[in-house]
């Protein structure tokens, strides 16, 4: 496996369509909060903030357009101004609404401009996060592969030792049976039993 330093992750991901990393539950399983590298946290927060900003701007834009429509409707109802007291109030309200509509128009324009740029910022932030995440995952894969090889070697060594121990155990069991049979034939069962009991008492 090539070293992490030898791989240009930025080049690999450039121009590729990548899903939003923080919306994938599997990514959160790979990087749980208790085991999340500091740089991943920084990039994750950056991406989350941009997405929140996009959501807020989208909602604000809807509200601003709704308010502008409402004010435009009020302007139509207050168009019939006159020199009367009521007419002057309508004129004041008309001027106020026109000023508000201009202000809202500026805010709408500003929000729309930000919303045009935000997807590119989100894409860039998401790319940064996937590059860092992939580099870490690749390092973990490399480390785990090395560790697996070490463990496999250890298991193989233990298996060989176990085989030797089993054979040694079997050999000693056979010898014990041979010794016991010989003593049984030589001493007889009663004397052998007495000897066994004395040995047990002496332990």
Residues 94 and 119 in one domain: yes
Same domain, 145 and 172: no
**Domain that residue 114 falls in:** 15-150
Question: What does the pLDDT look like over 91-115, one tens digit per residue?
Answer: 677 778 788 888 988 999 999 999 9
- Could you tell me the pLDDT band of residue 1, with boundaries at 50, 70 and 90? very low
Q: Are residues 60 and 140 in the same domain?
A: yes
For residue 191, pLDDT beyond 60: yes
The answer to whether position 143 is within a domain reads: yes
Query: What is the per-residue pLDDT across 31-79, written as a single tens digit (0 to 9) for each?
Result: 999 999 999 999 999 999 999 999 999 999 999 999 888 878 777 665 6
Q: Has residue 89 got a pLDDT over 80?
A: no
Q: What is the pLDDT of residues 155-172, one digit of tens each?
A: 999 999 999 999 999 999
In a domain, 173, yes or no: yes
What is the count of structural domains for the chain?
2
Q: Is residue 8 a part of any domain in this protein? A: no
d(CA 185, CA 172): 20
Nearest residue to 70 (alpha-carbon basis) of 100, 91, 92, 90 = 100
In a domain, 119, yes or no: yes
- Whether the Cβ atoms of residue 132 and residue 36 lie closer than 8 Å to each other: no
């Amino acid at each position: 496996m090539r070293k992490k330093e030898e791989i240009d992750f930025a080049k690999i991901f450039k121009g590729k369509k990548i899903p939003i990393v923080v919306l994938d539950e599997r990514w959160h399983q790979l990087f749980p909060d208790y085991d999340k590298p500091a740089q991943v946290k920084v990039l994750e927060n950056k991406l989350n903030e941009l997405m929140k900003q996009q959501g807020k701007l989208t909602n604000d834009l809807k509200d601003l357009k709704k308010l502008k429509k409402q004010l435009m409707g009020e302007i139509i109802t207050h168009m019939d101004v006159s020199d009367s007291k009521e007419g002057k109030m309508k004129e004041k309200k008309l001027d106020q609404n026109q000023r508000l509509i201009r202000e809202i128009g500026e805010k709408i324009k500003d929000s729309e401009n930000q919303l045009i740029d935000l997807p590119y910022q989100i894409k860039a932030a998401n790319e940064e996060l996937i590059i860092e995440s992939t580099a870490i995952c690749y390092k973990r894969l490399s480390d785990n592969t090395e560790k697996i090889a070490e463990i496999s070697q250890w298991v193989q060594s233990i298996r060989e030792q176990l085989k030797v121990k089993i054979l040694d155990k079997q050999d000693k069991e056979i010898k014990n049976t041979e010794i016991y049979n010989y003593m049984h034939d030589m001493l007889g069962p009663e004397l052998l039993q007495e000897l066994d009991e004395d040995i047990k008492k002496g332990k």
